[in-house]
Copies of this chain bind each other. A is one copy, B any other.
């Protein structure tokens, strides 16, 4: 169950990475590299921080196949994907929701406490997009003034608390991922903005 959610998250994140590469007119290998770095980056960061090295993704062929397929699909069919660019943010939000939950539950599995596990879930969720944006020379999405890190932290906290309360893992994962996903999508669609610091003449 968690593995399936993880693979779906990798797939949607990898597509967002591949789209960024295609938009920059990069060649097919750059598309595959950025798809892989985006899809697997968050999980690598999580695995290194919890000491689960070498990361499972390096040994499991499914974890390698998924970003390659996502990259190839994007490369060959991107005009169709381009037309639905408004759904790209939705894909990113879906990956965020899935990864914050799987990251948090993986940390719990390693014996971490509630707070570290929730934080690791958030880091896993935002890590892939950060790797994508830093490598592509863009300001990371998390800094562009839309609500991003908070839904990931809340989704991860829901998963951690539900799991610790003895609820069904699958249910807990779906609820946590859905809350993060729905919150993020609504924030983007409705143009919710978090407050910015007051401007003053002295700055």
Interface residue ranges, A against B (CB under 8 Å): 21-34, 44, 48-51, 53-55, 58-59, 61, 64, 75-76, 78-79, 82-83, 107, 110, 112-113, 115-116, 119-120, 126, 130, 134-137, 139-140, 142-150, 193-198, 200, 202-203
Given contacts A78-B203, A135-B143, 16 further A-B contacts (CB under 8 A): A21-B143, A23-B203, A24-B143, A26-B144, A28-B197, A29-B142, A30-B145, A30-B194, A31-B197, A48-B53, A49-B53, A49-B54, A79-B202, A82-B200, A134-B134, A137-B139
Q: Are B136 and A33 in contact (CB under 8 A)?
A: no
Q: Are B148 and A58 in contact (CB under 8 A)?
A: no
A21 nearest CB neighbor, chain B only: B143
A197 CB contact (under 8 Å) in B75, B137, B202, B203:
B75
A150 nearest CB neighbor, chain B only: B29
Q: How far is the CA of A140 from the CA of B135 in the complex (A)?
A: 7
Nearest 8 Cβ contacts at the A-B interface: A27-B194, A58-B116, A79-B200, A51-B53, A82-B203, A30-B143, A22-B197, A27-B145
Interface of A is mostly: helix
Identical chains bound together, number: 3
Q: How far is the CA of A82 from the CA of B197 in the complex (A)?
A: 12
Q: Which residues of B contact A146 (CB under 8 A)?
A: 27
Chosen A-B contacts, 30 in total, with CB atoms closer than 8 Å, are A22-B197, A22-B203, A27-B193, A27-B196, A28-B197, A29-B149, A30-B143, A30-B194, A33-B126, A33-B149, A48-B48, A49-B53, A51-B51, A51-B54, A54-B110, A54-B116, A58-B112, A58-B115, A58-B116, A59-B115, A59-B116, A75-B197, A76-B197, A79-B202, A82-B200, A134-B134, A134-B135, A135-B140, A136-B143, A137-B137
A75 nearest CB neighbor, chain B only: B197
Chain B proximity of A183: nearest CB distance (Å): 12
